[in-house]
Amino acid sequence: MSSYPIQCLATGVIPQKLPTPLVHLRSLDFHEFGLCFGKEVDLLSILLLVTSSPNVEKIIMEMEQHPTEAVSQTTMNLIDHQDYSHVILDRLRILQILSFSNMKSGMDFVKLILAKSPMLRKVVISLNNGIDIHGKVSILTEMIQYPRASAKAEIIIH
């Protein structure tokens, strides 16, 4: 799947969940879509596809960085203000995020996935090149405190 379906979602109001769940979808690979956790439309589109895919086993994505663009307060707090009580990702085993930064919306996304994935085994975070050792320690320190639905979920940051 290319980024075209996500661009179509961006043309109107994005619902919190699809009318028909994507039950046959086993893998979501967003890493070449050019999506940014700092853009509300991109974040809502990712959340819609992830939360509408109850049988997804693997999610791969890349956080595109736009340092010159301001991130709105709405976008930064988007996940906090949405109701995801209906979401359970029973089959998700692997989450991989490339070019990760400590942007609040990205951290909140990982927090949501950890809380909603009882079978999660591995979270692999490849940090953006601009993150120094102090940033890496800060991200890891915060993530290990997040509640997890899976006691076996391993967080790997490099």
Summarize the confidence of residues 70-82 as an average pLDDT. 61
C-alpha 145/C-alpha 91 separation (Å) is: 23
Summarize the confidence of residues 112-128 as an average pLDDT. 95
φ, ψ of residue 21 to 5 degrees: the values are -65, 150
What was the pLDDT predicted at 81? Answer: 56
Within a 13 Å sphere around the CA of 36, how many CA atoms are in the beta-carbon half? 14
- 82 versus 78: the higher-pLDDT residue is 82
Question: Which pLDDT band, with edges at 50, 70 and 90, does 2 fall under?
Answer: very low
Question: Which pLDDT band, with edges at 50, 70 and 90, does 13 fall under?
Answer: low
Q: What is the mean pLDDT of the chain?
A: 82
Q: Where are the beta strands (DSSP E) in 64-147?
A: 94-100, 122-127
Q: Which strands make up the sheet holding 58-62, listed edge to edge?
A: 27-29, 58-62, 94-100, 122-127, 154-157
